[in-house]
Amino acid sequence: MAIDERKFRILQAIIDDYILTAIPVGSRTISKKYETSLSSATIRNEMSDLEELGYLDQPHVSAGRVPSAKAYRLYVDQLLQQGKILKANPESIRGHFQDRARQMEDVIGHAAQVLSSLTHYTALVMSPKTPETRIRTIQLVPVTSSTALVVIVTDSGIVRDSIIRIGNDMDADALYSISRMLTNRLAGHTLSEAQQTLAAQEPPAVQQVVASISDLIGDVQKQGAAGKLAVGGSSNILSFPEYSDVEKAKGFLSLLETKEKLLQLLEQDGEMAFTVRIGPETGIPELVDCSLVTASYRLGNQSHGTIGVIGPTRMQYGQVFGILRALGEHLSSLLKQDEG
């Protein structure tokens, strides 16, 4: 038995209704609200077939039907294939980003806030990963007589700084000449090349400084490979009856606090327009009743970041796609402008 066009229409109606109400959908509801030309008995037969095919679940015998993960999958694939993406109002997004944010962390934090308040779901925003970035400038800035700030600028515009200990006999000019020397030697190299170069030739005078800088380069690399994550609207999930159970809610919120797992989850996505993971497809027990929708946004020409939304499986997918697309475009333009 295959799923024909009418079955699909009925399934769609069930999903639409369930997304709105979160109440198991009965045959009579469909017959009255959606397929008015068919009687409830006919719908019933079709629903029975759909259940057999694995698209519907029945919480108990005298309740209506609930869409399965398989049903959502079909629904979403159809949505994406037909390009049924609700247009979000770009103005409403731009309005939230009036004041220029200066640091990447501020931007992604703010974006997560905006995304969660627009969708009413939980928002994730990951900064772009920059695994194979090249050094552009290294500069030492005096802080105290015995410490200095190392600033590393890479070609992806990522800046990382850290305070290191220096010998007592260095003034600003001495630091500047070291900076020039390092920049000359390392500019254009990838981070790992730079670390090797530094390890190979250590001028004894600046040995300690160079070692610290080498450490820092390792940090930059590690961090660039990982990407930073901002979460917004954690508590939104509590608005949904799916999470009225406190234990479940706690599991979900704890998951949000351990960002490693989330990063891992987001990193599985390539540079797709949209990735949708429905319930068990996430592979995380706490998210069996959730869907994760992610999209990527471009930063310059080489690296990309990820934005996403976690909500109940009965998510307003079409709307979420639209908002993600609009926000992604906005972020891309925002960051491009920053870079000049």
Partner DNA sequence: GTTAGCACTCGGCAACGGTGAGTGCTAACA
Partner DNA sequence: TGTTAGCACTCACCGTTGCCGAGTGCTAAC
Residues at the contact surface with a copy of itself, assessed by CB under 8 A: 102-103, 105, 136-137, 139, 141-144, 146-147, 149, 151, 153, 157, 159, 161-163, 165, 172, 176, 180, 183, 216, 219, 232-235, 238-239, 243-244, 246, 249-250, 253-254, 256-257, 338-340
Q: Binding DNA by CB under 7 A: which of 13, 29, 110, 326?
A: 29
CB of 250 to a copy of itself, least distance (A): 4
Spatial separation of the C-alpha atoms in residues 230 and 101, rounded to whole Å? 15
| Sheet containing 290-299: order of strands | 229-232, 122-126, 303-312, 290-299, 275-278
DSSP letter string over 2-37? Answer: ---HHHHHHHHHHHHHHHHH-SPBPHHHHHHHT-TT
Of DNA, a copy of itself, none, which one does residue 180 interact with (CB within 5 to 8 Å by kind)? a copy of itself
Q: Which stretch binds DNA (CB under 7 A): 59-67, 177-185, 232-240, 282-290?
A: 59-67
Of a copy of itself, DNA, none, which one does residue 211 interact with (CB within 5 to 8 Å by kind)? none
Q: Does 62 bind DNA (CB under 7 A)?
A: yes
Count the residues in the chain. Answer: 340
Q: Does 259 bind DNA (CB under 7 A)?
A: no
Q: Binding DNA by CB under 7 A: which of 37, 82, 98, 184?
A: 37
Residue 147, CA atoms < 13 Å, CB-side half-sphere: 7
Of DNA, a copy of itself, none, which one does residue 144 interact with (CB within 5 to 8 Å by kind)? a copy of itself
Of a copy of itself, DNA, none, which one does residue 223 interact with (CB within 5 to 8 Å by kind)? none
End-to-end CA distance of the chain: 58
Q: Binding DNA by CB under 7 A: which of 22, 63, 199, 273?
A: 63
Q: How many Cβ atoms from other residues are within 10 Å of residue 229's Cβ?
A: 19
For residues 16 and 33, the answer to whether their CB atoms sit within 8 Å is no
Torsion sign (Cα): 178, 213, 193, 133: negative
Of DNA, a copy of itself, none, which one does residue 37 interact with (CB within 5 to 8 Å by kind)? DNA
